[in-house]
Copies of this chain bind each other. A is one copy, B any other.
Amino acid sequence: MSDKTDATTTVGGVSGERLKSYIERIERLEEEKNGIADDITDIYTESKGFGFEPKIIRQIVRLRKMEADARAEADALLETYRAAVGV
Assembly of this chain: how many copies? 4
Chain B nearest CB from A45 CB (Å) reads 11
Contact A80 B64 (CB under 8 A): no
Chain A contact residue count (CB 8 A cutoff)? 49
Contact B59 A77 (CB under 8 A): yes
| Residues on A facing B (Cβ under 8 Å) | 12-15, 18-19, 22-23, 25-27, 29-30, 32-33, 36-37, 39-40, 43-44, 46-47, 50-53, 55-57, 59-67, 69-70, 73-74, 76-77, 80-81, 84-85
The 10 tightest CB contacts between A and B, nearest first, are A66-B70, A33-B36, A22-B47, A63-B73, A59-B77, A29-B40, A29-B36, A67-B70, A32-B36, A29-B39
